Amino acid sequence: MLASAVYFGAFGEIYSLFPATAGDTFGAEYATTNNGMLYTAKGTAALLVPLGSVLATNYGWQAVFLAAMACNIIAALLAVFVIKPMRRAHIERSNEKVANGANASPLAAQNVNA
């Protein structure tokens, strides 16, 4: 069980958690764009593989793992201090729009008036 959780945590989030979170946060209107950005980010990260190879050749695998750990720490800090407040503000703005009726579709208004 622990191994499957670790495997899912390392490889599954890009295919399940990220699109679901982006869809829940920003809605279905831009789901394709958001998923495209996520896959582009994954492809960009793949470009770091040659850098890892150079690090492993010159400094050993410990340097590769330390560089990966530094990238993970930077990503976690950015998520907490940059992305989380931006997401919270976006959700609050969306909730205000819904409360004011700005997000109501014309079809929904027709059903209410009928």
The pLDDT assigned to 10 comes to: 64
What is the secondary structure of 44-86 as a DSSP string? HHHTTHHHHHHHHHHH-HHHHHHHHHHHHHHHHHHIIIIIHHH
Q: What is the pLDDT of residues 92-105, one digit of tens each?
A: 988 888 888 765 55
* CA 33 remoteness from chain centre: 12
Q: What is the pLDDT of residues 46-73, one digit of tens each?
A: 888 889 999 999 999 999 999 989 989 9
Question: What's this model's pTM, rounded to 2 decimal places?
Answer: 0.54
